[in-house]
């Protein structure tokens, strides 16, 4: 039976703008109030999807959320027509308006945590939408995310869906940005690696001091229970609080892994040696490779500024051959001489990363999201892929349709001040209505 790690990338929404909404995300805050280019952002993301599809990856698409979120503004006491609500809210609190226009669902690594059928007790693939409760502009995403995932993965013989965890930092959950699955091959039983920022119920446990720890241990443990995992196929590790305070807001900014490879910075975890030892003790197979990057090779500052670890690892090994991985990296890695030289050295070494491909994702990068942020990995059998009814698996025709849609409906410049333009809301709704039939998701924005 053929099994694939399918990457579902988020389509960058047409309200993509820079407002510095994400505390602890250095790039997001540094570019606050700069003018964004939503059209370029969406086309850059689509180009990456198409390129990976041409490399042999099964590539999926996740629809953007409808913006602005008028329901949230109404719940905060703003009344009148939608246009009146936005204008009044803008006069009283433009920051709230910006948060209700946020295009952050483009970073689908935060959409959910996914456990494939080969890891779970009931033999189904399980989804839990992330509550994203530590950031207001993301905290209301889970409702639509759950509806979208249930619409896409609707066959109950194959898939199980869980509500987002209760809100509040005690169960703060940021989805797959803090979750990695390791296995000899995608179709074999795997080890699910959960990384958390704090133990929320223990006031004396180590935690960051400057920035919020967005993932709690309690949330990670709850998801493992919901998905039918057990102690033999899970590892829970704490992210180093010091790196969170340095701007590493998710584990996927300091570590990335897939299949039998974990690529990480030496300062990623609170006790890296202990973490790797536990992974090795529970990993089912003999090809696990822990590729640790020393601070003397790539500094923490360079890792954050280039998003060296917010990259994608693609297992391109043929059955029975030595493991071979391709690293999908942003061009910022290529433009930093120290990082580029390190990657060239790794490719030339005996390490299993054999190739690096660079992609221009500057619009996303300026808002704090690299290649890894843009995709949600879902391990699926061919039968499961065939059961997906919406038109969300990328091919040349779908790519062409989406490029045409972006070119027709997206602005090439969007500033903070533009959010109060009544015409923008009309454009966003027209874009959503036109996207529904393209993806076979008719009515999704009326749910």
The question of whether 436 is a catalytic residue gets the answer no
The question of whether 137 is a catalytic residue gets the answer no
What secondary structure, in 3-state letters, does the chain show?
CCEEEEEEEECCCCCCCCCCCCCCCHHHHHCCCCCECHHHHHHHHHHHHHHHHHCCCCEEEECCCCCCCHHHHHHCCCCCCHHHHHHHHHHHCHHHHHHHCCCHHHCHHHCEEEECHHHCCCCCEEEEECCCCCCHHHHCCHHHHHHHHHHHCCCCCCEEEECCCCCCHHHCCCHHHHEEEECCCCCCCCEEEEEECECCCCCCCCCCCCCCCCCEHHHHHHHHHHCCCCHHHEEEEEECHHHHHCCCCCHHHCEEEECCEEEEECCCECCHHHHHHHHHHHCCCCCCEEEEECCCCCCHHHHHHHCCCCCEEEECCCCCCCCCEEEEEEHHHHHCHHHHHHHHHHHHCCCCEEEEEEECCHHHHHCCCCCCCCEEEEEEEHHHHHCCCCCCECCHHHHHHHHHHHHHHCCCCECCHHHHCHHHHHHHHHHHHHHHHHHCCCCHHHC
Task: Select which of 100, 133, 333, 373 is catalytic.
Answer: 373
Task: Select which of 174, 218, 332, 363 is catalytic.
Answer: 174
Task: Select which of 161, 250, 265, 409 is catalytic.
Answer: 250
The question of whether 373 is a catalytic residue gets the answer yes
Which sequence positions are flagged as catalytic? 174, 250, 373
């Amino acid at each position: 039976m053929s099994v694939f790690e399918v990457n579902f990338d988020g389509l960058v929404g047409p309200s993509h703008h820079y407002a510095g909404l994400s505390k602890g995300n250095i790039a997001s805050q540094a570019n606050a109030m700069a003018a964004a280019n939503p059209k370029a952002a969406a086309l850059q993301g689509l180009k990456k999807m198409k390129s990976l599809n041409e490399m042999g990856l099964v590539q999926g698409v996740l629809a953007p959320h409808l913006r602005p979120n008028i329901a949230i503004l109404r719940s905060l006491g703003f009344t009148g027509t939608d246009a009146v609500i936005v204008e009044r809210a803008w006069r009283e609190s433009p920051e709230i308006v910006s948060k209700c226009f946020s295009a952050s669902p483009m970073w689908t690594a935060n959409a959910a945590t996914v456990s494939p059928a080969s890891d779970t007790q009931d033999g189904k693939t399980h989804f839990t939408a992330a509550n994203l409760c530590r950031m207001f502009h993301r905290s209301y995403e889970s409702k639509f995310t759950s509806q979208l995932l249930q619409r896409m993965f609707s066959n109950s013989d194959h898939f199980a869906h869980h509500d987002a965890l209760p809100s509040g930092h005690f169960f703060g959950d940021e989805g797959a940005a803090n979750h990695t699955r390791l296995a000899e091959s995608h179709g074999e039983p795997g080890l699910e690696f959960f990384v958390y920022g704090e133990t929320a119920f223990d006031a004396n446990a180590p935690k960051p001091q400057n920035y919020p720890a967005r993932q709690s241990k309690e949330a990670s443990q709850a998801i493992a229970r919901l998905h039918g995992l057990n102690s033999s196929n899970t590892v829970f590790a704490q992210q180093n609080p010091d790196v969170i305070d340095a701007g590493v807001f998710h584990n996927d900014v300091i570590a990335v892994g897939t299949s039998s490879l974990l690529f990480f910075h030496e300062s990623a975890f609170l006790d890296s040696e202990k973490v790797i030892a536990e992974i090795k003790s529970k990993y089912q197979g003999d090809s696990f490779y822990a590729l640790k990057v020393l601070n003397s090779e790539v500094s923490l500052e360079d890792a954050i500024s280039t998003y060296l670890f917010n990259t994608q690892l693609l297992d391109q090994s043929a059955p029975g051959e030595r493991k071979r991985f391709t690293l999908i990296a942003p061009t910022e890695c290529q433009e930093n001489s120290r990082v580029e030289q390190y990657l060239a050295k790794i490719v030339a070494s005996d390490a299993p990363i054999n190739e690096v491909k660079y992609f221009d994702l500057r619009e996303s990068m300026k808002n704090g999201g690299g290649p890894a942020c843009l995709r949600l990995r879902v391990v699926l059998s061919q039968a499961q892929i065939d059961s997906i009814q919406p038109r969300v698996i990328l091919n040349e025709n779908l790519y062409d349709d989406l490029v045409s849609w972006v070119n027709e409906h997206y602005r090439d410049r969007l500033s903070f001040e533009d959010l109060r333009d009544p015409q923008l809301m009309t454009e966003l709704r027209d874009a959503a209505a036109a996207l529904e039939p393209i993806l076979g998701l008719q009515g999704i924005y009326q749910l």
